[in-house]
Amino acid sequence: MNETNINSTGQEIAYIEENIQTLEWWEHIRRRPGMYIGKIGDGTYADDGIYVLLKEVLDNAIDEYMMGYGKSVDITIDNGVVTVRDYGRGIPLGKVADVSSKMNTGGKYDSKAFKKSVGLNGVGIKAVNALSAYMLVQSFRDGETKSVAYNQAHITEDSLVSPTTQSNGTLVNFIPDEKIFEGYHYRDEFVEPLLKNYVFLNSGLTINFNGKKFHSKNGLVDLLNEYMTSESLYPIIHLRSQDIEIAITHANQYSEEYYSFVNGQFTTQGGTHLSAFKETVSRVIKEYYSKSFEYSDIRSGIIAAVAIKVEEPIFESQTKTKLGSKDIGPEGPTVAKFIGDFVKKELDNYLHKNPDTTDALLKKILESEKERKAIAGVTKLARERAKKSSLHNKKLRDCRLHYNDIKGENLEETCIFITEGDSASGSITQSRDPNYQAVFSLRGKPLNTFGETKQIVYKNEEFNLLQAALNIEESLEDLRYNKVIIATDADVDGMHIRLLIITFFLQFFPDLIKNNHVFILQTPLFRVRNKKETTYCYSDEERQRAIGKLGPNPEITRFKGLGEISPSEFKHFIGKDIRLDLVNMRKQDAVKEMLEFYMGKNTMERQNFIINNLMVEEDV
């Protein structure tokens, strides 16, 4: 008997026994990969799934090192084929197939074998298996070896145990499945920071990657020196003990900058450990000076890293970007007490022994306090204006969903386009997905904020409203959109506006850029079409190829600005095929000097630079 139900729209929907399905573990992973690896992607962004696959394999290798076995890990990535070889104990030979193809199977349930590991649920390597077109797992153990090969988690080869002369350890070789990761490619610019973090958190470990060697002697000090883009005001404070390591300094910047880790996992969204660290550092410094400093003044310009080890950590998602654990272990103290006791004792001792550091720190705190009080008057008025504007802001066409809006989950698709002019914002507004895409319209060229104090953020209506729209005044944790996309014309004026916006972010909210939230929207320069086909071209080279493809005398349109692109066409450029260039920062960029040269008052020097480079182009 067929049973039907009538839904709210009056449609009959069958709901019978055949609708009930039981999926194999690998089927569930392949149908719902986002549950296991976050977003899929193709390798264009650092949080794309192919890097999660690499990380899941690496975590197992690093866990061996953390338990005291093996001193190096070898990695190669060649044409999308990944090979990871560690020199740990090796998987017990009789369990190679089980640990790589049976869900909820692994050695990390036994806390004696893996006391403080990242992956405890026996899922990670299985997710790699299910999402790979090919995977080989080979164990070398006490003069013997065994391997198992897979295709989409189905065993294709299960070798017998045989003798070997190779050192103990495990080799994993896999190829991500292009049916899921269409057109994927690994980028060294995303792989190498991942590897650097591993060695920073495991002093003494060596990682060899495609001919490059990564090694760290000074742990989190090396990490801060690698990632800081501002010069520290005093030598980095470095404190460590069993299961905890911290590094702290301050720089002449407004933002707070943190790097937090649990069992070697980079918790980009923080969690209980980072909250406890920030609270305790502020309190200890305040008590040292015996002043009624506000925590915001103490932390203004702080750059710090904290790494702890926790037994059986609880993360808020399979991708492990936020710690939810409240306790260090089943029999240990709370995370807050563990960190609090360590920081209170060790940081207080350090401050008493290093007067030069405390003098520099006090000077920074007093400067922050002075500036905060100076802008207190304008801040209140600015906040009131910003609140009003959130209700009646013609500059902001908001979206329905926001980053971290639903049950603490990231909404990766959420973005805001920053445009200039009514025509451009109008086209994007009509073309956008209103669930995830917001639009903020600037009026003309924004102010050059280089060299200005933070008062300018509140006094300048454009930037005050932009800050309010992004919701970043108090903390980057409250950011309303995952991607902040600068969408300006590809002409001289558009480039200048782009530079002014980036200068604003670098000056006052650099973490937006450091945490990979800021992008440049690529839009086509040309439309080439005939009666049958239309091609949009982003460069002159693409235009030439399109002309050759479409045949003689196609119609060619040069887009001078975003406002010339109709809403119906714009849908092609801000949908699933959107082209974005990431704006990022590296220590070698020397941001302060770069801004001073390009945005400072050295007009003649900059003019000569432009003239000289134009002459070079002409010579070529």
Q: Is a pLDDT exceeding 50 seen at residue 13?
A: yes
Q: Is a pLDDT exceeding 60 seen at residue 256?
A: yes
Contact between residue 481 and residue 416 where contact means Cβ atoms under 8 Å apart: yes
CA 555 – CA 266 distance, rounded (Å): 51
Query: What is the reported pLDDT for 128?
Result: 93
Q: Residue 129 has which token pair? A: 């298996």
Query: What is the reported pLDDT for 385?
Result: 60
Query: What is the reported pLDDT for 303?
Result: 94
Q: Is a pLDDT exceeding 70 seen at residue 240?
A: yes
Q: Which residues contact 74 (CB under 8 A, 6 or more apart)?
A: 83, 84, 85, 86, 207, 208
Q: Is a pLDDT exceeding 80 seen at residue 274?
A: yes
What's the one-letter identity of residue 159? S
Contact between residue 520 and residue 485 where contact means Cβ atoms under 8 Å apart: yes
Residue 176: which pLDDT band, with cuts at 50, 70 and 90? very high
Q: Residue 518 has which token pair? A: 């800021």
What would the pLDDT profile of 394-443 be if each residue is shown by its tens digit? 678 999 888 877 645 567 789 999 998 777 788 899 999 999 999 999 88
Query: What is the reported pLDDT for 587?
Result: 63
DSSP per-residue string spanning 493-505 = HHHHHHHHHHHHH
Residue spans of the domains in the chain: they are: 28-215, 220-371, 393-523+570-589, 526-558
Can you give the length of the chain in residues? 620
Using alpha carbons, select from 317, 229, 330, 225 the residue that is nearest to residue 265: 317
Q: Residue 92 has which token pair? A: 């017990």
Query: What is the reported pLDDT for 421?
Result: 77
Query: What is the reported pLDDT for 617?
Result: 41
CA 358 – CA 505 distance, rounded (Å): 29
Mean pLDDT, range 512-537, rounded to an integer: 90
Q: Give me the architecture of the 393-523+570-589 domain, per CATH.
A: 3-Layer(aba) Sandwich (3.40)
Query: What is the reported pLDDT for 7?
Result: 59
pTM: 0.76
Mean pLDDT, range 94-104, rounded to an integer: 83
What would the pLDDT profile of 316-350 be if each residue is shown by its tens digit? 765 567 777 677 766 668 888 999 999 999 999 99
Query: What is the reported pLDDT for 284?
Result: 96
Mean pLDDT, range 577-586, rounded to an integer: 84
Asked if the domains 220-371 and 393-523+570-589 are classified in one and the same CATH topology, the answer is no
What would the pLDDT profile of 567-578 be if each residue is shown by its tens digit? 888 888 898 778
28-215 CATH choice from 3.30.1330.10, 3.30.565.10, 1.10.533.10, 3.40.1010.20: 3.30.565.10
Residue 50: which pLDDT band, with cuts at 50, 70 and 90? very high
Mean pLDDT, range 513-518, rounded to an integer: 88
Query: What is the reported pLDDT for 443?
Result: 81
Mean pLDDT, range 381-396, rounded to an integer: 60
Lowest average pLDDT, out of 34-43, 356-365, 367-376, 579-588, goes to 579-588
Lowest average pLDDT, out of 149-153, 383-387, 502-506, goes to 383-387
Q: Is a pLDDT exceeding 70 seen at residue 380?
A: no
Mean pLDDT, range 155-166, rounded to an integer: 94
Q: Give me the architecture of the 220-371 domain, per CATH.
A: 2-Layer Sandwich (3.30)
**Percent of residues, the chain, with pLDDT higher than 90:** 45
Query: What is the reported pLDDT for 391?
Result: 43
Residue 384: which pLDDT band, with cuts at 50, 70 and 90? low
Q: Angle CA(269)–CA(274)–CA(278) in degrees, nearest 5?
A: 130
Mean pLDDT of the chain: 84
Distance (Å) of CA 481 to CA 261, 405, 406, 457, 476: 24, 10, 13, 20, 10
Contact between residue 310 and residue 262 where contact means Cβ atoms under 8 Å apart: yes
Query: What is the reported pLDDT for 334?
Result: 87
Lowest average pLDDT, out of 119-123, 250-254, 519-523, goes to 119-123
Mean pLDDT, range 209-219, rounded to an integer: 95
Q: Is a pLDDT exceeding 50 seen at residue 614?
A: yes
DSSP per-residue string spanning 368-406 = HHHHHHHHHHHHHHHHHHHHHHHHH-TTEE--S--TT-B
Query: What is the reported pLDDT for 21?
Result: 65
Q: Residue 548 has which token pair? A: 């050759």
Residue 393: which pLDDT band, with cuts at 50, 70 and 90? low
